């Protein structure tokens, strides 16, 4: 006969009932506590991507450095002045007598708004995940290199820049906006937020470790110099470099990792001469659209990463040579020569294709070539030399008004890039596009404007006749929006290096 457990009997009497009730209550409480402990232990073991792995050491909040790591230091008046081009000075902007409808100034709104704070995924109707989960997903996308860095919005970041005009001694005077008396500072505090991921705050130590023993070179005009100085300033906060440059190449060596940051001046990225060619007389700049600039091509094998940017010099008076023939010009063309075959916009596109094809197919270059797209200017009411102004701009634009010339030059640059990738065949993977044009079209507030010098008597407001003071609405204040280019640069290099290792 099978055995059975004896049934429990309720204790007789009032005391027995109380003991029975007490036992039941204690059992229920113990069961609840057990379930809570199990739930917490399971929850804590779930995988979660940590943003701390991608932010600088000492981070106390999203992109916020602890007080011991803030970029402050002693004032140093050492600056590098504007660099002339073989005896001449560069124009401030590209819009210089373009002609036609490219420089008509007719606005066409770009859909897109600037928000002053991070979007709330719950408030926007996305109830499938929590804000923490979204942040984790965004971080994963950035780490995996699947996020589009170039579509998003500018958000206000109270943590401020990673350096100041006093903590970096190489800022060119014309870009030292605070040193030149600019009264507002909010333009320093906006950060770029891609739509679907986080663009990590620049980490100087991570950059130097990533580029250990390597050389990164910027090749282009004064806007390329602007980006180079921004990068050196960011790195300066963790390792003071040694100046190893000369007239042909500016170089900064960061000894902690033997990393070199270089810059080579190349205003057109293709060959330039002042000697007479065909109908173009001696003295005028001849731009050989199908011959890469031998100056930087000579140095190319020394570089592990090269950042190429150009275009603004195609506004200067010049003649264009293709296959040995003069085919067009800018602000110059003999009337008796008939119709030009090529204007400055088309010439720019050809020069981009020539330069990038030569870089990608060079047998002695095995590095990474990054093309930084057209840097938009924000002159209103005219060009740099015809009364254009960005005076009074202190916040990012709510809507972008497109500029016909900027759109045309950007389009030709991207077209030239794509042709070069095709021309290079299997080596086309060496070329990468850093597409900053759309994000920076919003940043009319980021230029020096009238704050181009420390002269206390300089004019910074419009005169009684409404005429604006002389100003720079092309280059970028430092610190300022230009620092974001180097956040994008670091992310681009990281992705490519990790892809190569995988």
Out of 222, 266, 351, 375, pick the active-site residue. Answer: 222
pLDDT tens digit sequence for 444-473: 999 999 999 999 999 999 999 989 999 999
Give residue 6's pLDDT.
Answer: 38
Out of 157, 221, 472, 483, pick the active-site residue. Answer: 472
Over residues 166-191, the mean pLDDT reads 97
pLDDT at 501 over 50: yes
Percent of the chain whose predicted confidence (pLDDT) is above 90:
66
Over residues 232-246, the mean pLDDT reads 97
How many other C-beta atoms are found inside a 10 Å radius of the C-beta of residue 205? 15
* β-bridge pairing 400-401 and 431-434: unpaired
Indicate the range of 24-28, 77-81, 108-112 predicted with least confidence.
77-81
Residues shown for the chain: 502
Over residues 216-242, the mean pLDDT reads 98
SS3 401: strand
Q: How confident is the model at residue 386 (pLDDT cuts 50, 70, 90)?
A: confident
Out of 271, 378, 447, 475, pick the active-site residue. Answer: 475
pLDDT at 61 over 50: no
How many other C-beta atoms are found inside a 10 Å radius of the C-beta of residue 400? 23
Assess whether 129 carries a catalytic annotation: no
pLDDT tens digit sequence for 269-292: 999 999 999 999 999 999 999 999
Q: Which of 228, 232, 345, 332 shows the shortest CA–CA distance to 284?
A: 332
Give residue 144's pLDDT.
Answer: 53
Instruction: Give pTM, 2 decimals.
Output: 0.75
CA 421 to the chain's CA centroid: 22
Assess whether 472 carries a catalytic annotation: yes
Over residues 373-380, the mean pLDDT reads 96
> Rounded to whole angstroms, how far apart are CA atoms 154 and 82?
30
> Rounded to whole angstroms, how far apart are CA atoms 145 and 488?
12
Give residue 25's pLDDT.
Answer: 56
Give residue 320's pLDDT.
Answer: 98
Give residue 30's pLDDT.
Answer: 62
> Rounded to whole angstroms, how far apart are CA atoms 337 and 328?
10
pLDDT tens digit sequence for 8-26: 343 445 555 455 556 655 5
Percent of the chain whose predicted confidence (pLDDT) is above 70:
71
Task: Assess contact for 180 and 454: CB atoms under 8 A.
Answer: yes
Assess whether 27 carries a catalytic annotation: no
Over residues 188-201, the mean pLDDT reads 96
Give residue 34's pLDDT.
Answer: 53
Give 219-236 as a DSSP string: EESHHHHHHHHHHHHHHH
């Amino acid at each position: 006969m099978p055995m059975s457990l004896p049934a429990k009997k309720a204790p007789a009497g009032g005391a027995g009932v109380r003991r029975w009730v007490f036992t039941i209550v204690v059992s229920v409480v113990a069961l609840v506590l057990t379930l809570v402990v199990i739930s917490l232990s399971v929850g804590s073991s779930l995988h979660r991507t940590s943003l701390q792995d991608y932010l600088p050491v000492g981070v106390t909040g999203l992109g916020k450095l602890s007080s011991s790591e803030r970029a402050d230091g002693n004032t140093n008046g050492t600056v590098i002045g504007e660099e002339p081009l073989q005896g001449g000075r560069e124009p401030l902007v590209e819009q210089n007598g373009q002609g036609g409808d490219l420089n008509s100034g007719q606005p066409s709104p770009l859909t897109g708004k600037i928000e002053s704070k991070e979007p709330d995924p719950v408030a926007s109707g996305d109830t499938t995940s929590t804000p923490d989960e979204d942040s984790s997903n965004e971080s994963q996308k950035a780490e995996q290199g699947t996020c589009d860095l170039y579509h998003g919005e500018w958000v206000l970041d109270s943590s401020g820049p990673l350096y100041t005009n006093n903590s970096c001694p190489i800022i060119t005077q014309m870009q030292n906006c605070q040193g030149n008396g600019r009264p507002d500072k909010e333009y320093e505090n906006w950060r770029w937020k891609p739509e679907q991921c986080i663009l990590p705050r620049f980490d100087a130590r991570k950059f130097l470790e990533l580029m250990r023993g390597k050389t990164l070179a910027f090749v282009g005009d004064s806007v390329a110099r602007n980006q180079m100085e921004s990068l050196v300033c960011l790195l300066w906060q963790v390792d003071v470099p040694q100046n190893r440059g000369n007239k042909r190449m500016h170089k900064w060596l960061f000894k902690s990792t033997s990393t070199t940051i270089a810059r080579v001046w190349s205003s057109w990225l293709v060959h330039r001469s002042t000697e007479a060619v065909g109908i173009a007389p001696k003295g005028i700049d001849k731009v050989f659209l199908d011959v890469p600039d031998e100056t930087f091509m000579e140095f190319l094998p020394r570089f592990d990463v090269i950042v190429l940017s150009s275009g603004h010099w195609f506004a200067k008076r010049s003649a264009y040579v293709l296959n040995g023939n003069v085919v067009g010009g800018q602000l110059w063309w003999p009337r008796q020569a008939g119709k030009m075959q090529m204007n400055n916009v088309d010439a720019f596109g050809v020069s981009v294709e020539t330069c990038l094809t030569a870089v990608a197919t060079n047998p002695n270059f095995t590095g990474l070539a990054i093309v930084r797209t057209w840097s938009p200017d924000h002159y209103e009411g005219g060009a740099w030399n015809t009364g254009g102004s960005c005076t009074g701009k202190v916040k990012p634009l709510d809507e972008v008004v497109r500029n016909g010339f900027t759109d045309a030059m950007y389009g030709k640059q991207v077209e030239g890039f794509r042709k070069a990738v095709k021309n290079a065949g299997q080596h086309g993977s060496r070329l990468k596009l850093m597409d900053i044009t759309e994000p920076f079209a919003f940043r009319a507030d980021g230029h020096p404007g009238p704050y181009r010098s420390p002269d206390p008597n300089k004019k910074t407001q419009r005169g009684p006749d409404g005429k604006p003071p002389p100003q720079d609405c092309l280059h970028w204040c430092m610190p300022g929006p230009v620092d974001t280019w180097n956040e994008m640069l670091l992310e681009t290099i990281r992705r490519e290096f990790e892809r190569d290792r995988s």
